[in-house]
Amino acid sequence: MTLQSLLSPLHAVVREAGARIMEVYAEGADASFKSDGSPVTVADQAAEAVILKALSEIAPDIPVVSEENADSHALAAVDEFFLVDPLDGTKEFLRRDGQGSFTVNIALVRGGTPVLGVVYAPALDRLFSGSEETGAEETSGGVTRALALRAVPETGAVAVASKSHRDEATNQWLEDHGISETISIGSSLKFCLVASGEADVYPRFGPTMEWDTAAGDAVLRAAGGRVTNPDKSPFLYGKPEYRNGAFIAWGSVQSES
């Protein structure tokens, strides 16, 4: 199965999962808490049910590691697998602040690299997708456009940062790189803003899991960006417990750093 042939059915899957999320959003949702203290809602669970069923039909031979399927976290990483976050940005979902910065994430990892990603923000009707075969694009309001990095503005690079997890290490990195302007937003939309030319770099030093980042990472790479460890070595997937360390997601600013 080619990456291009996967994209269209995955678009349909994330839209269906997004519809289930928005049904819960309209009704209001309370959270329970997992053993690590992170929140989970019936929206997470409803979206995951849609995605896992669909992936079992679309690509039954490819294993799936998903945030809400705890059993999958014990699986040893193989050469090819899906990473799924059915509702990335649960805190933003619960906050109901009008930003709509929560997403559905599906990524395909091959050889430690996310080679395909689909990110859907259902409250915003923004669907980002990309692969190493096809490049990256966004569909919003029925209109599809190709994504590409922007040149760094003459006024200086703009960084995107976590809305819920901003830390001193991030602030220090921004100061060290002479970046004063930031956009604060939740979920994997941070990668997508860099991919779409709305920002230039996304530094992250706080904890994340691979299902949080893989889909947005794939979209950014497909748009011409890259994601590295802070020392600029390759940022890979299939790590122990699928746990990420710090990383930098680079747009065009990468050539100046």
Cα separation, 1 vs 185, in Å, equals 34
Please give the pLDDT value at position 38.
75
DSSP assignment of 74-110: GSPP-SEEEEEEEEE-HHHHHHT-S----EEEEEEEE
Task: Give, for 251, the enclosing helix (H) or strand (E).
Answer: none
pLDDT of 104 = 98
pLDDT at 29: 67
- Based on the fold, state whether residues 22 and 132 are members of the same structural domain: yes
Token pair of 218, please? Answer: 């794939």
Distance between CA atoms of residues 200 and 159, nearest Å? 6
Domain finish residue from 113, 146, 179: 146
3-state secondary structure of 237: coil
pLDDT interval class at 98 (50, 70, 90): confident
pLDDT, mean of residues 158-170: 81
Position 169 pLDDT exceeds 60? yes
Q: Which residues contact 220 (CB under 8 A, 6 or more apart)?
A: 130, 136, 191, 192, 194, 195, 226, 227, 249, 251
**Has residue 152 been placed in a domain?**
no
CA separation for the pair 171, 80 (Å, rounded): 35
pLDDT above 80: residue 165: no
Residues 235 and 137 in one domain: no
Mean per-residue pLDDT, 156-180 = 87
151 lies in some domain: no
Domain span at residue 17 reads 3-146
168 and 142 both lie in a single domain: no
Return the higher-pLDDT residue of 127 and 95. 127
Which region among 31-35, 86-90, 167-171 has the lowest average model confidence (pLDDT)? Answer: 31-35
State whether 83 and 112 are in the same domain. Answer: yes
Are 11 and 107 members of one domain?
A: yes
d(CA 44, CA 173): 33
Q: Are residues 108 and 226 in the same domain?
A: no
- pLDDT tens for each residue of 190-238: 999 999 999 999 999 989 999 999 999 999 999 999 999 999 999 999 9
Q: What is the pLDDT of residue 47?
A: 97
Same domain, 66 and 138: yes
Q: Number of folded domains in the chain? A: 2
Both 184 and 87 in one domain: the answer is no
Whether residue 46 lies inside any domain: the answer is yes
Q: What is the mean pLDDT of the chain?
A: 92
Q: Given 91, 121, 146, which residue is the final one in a domain?
A: 146
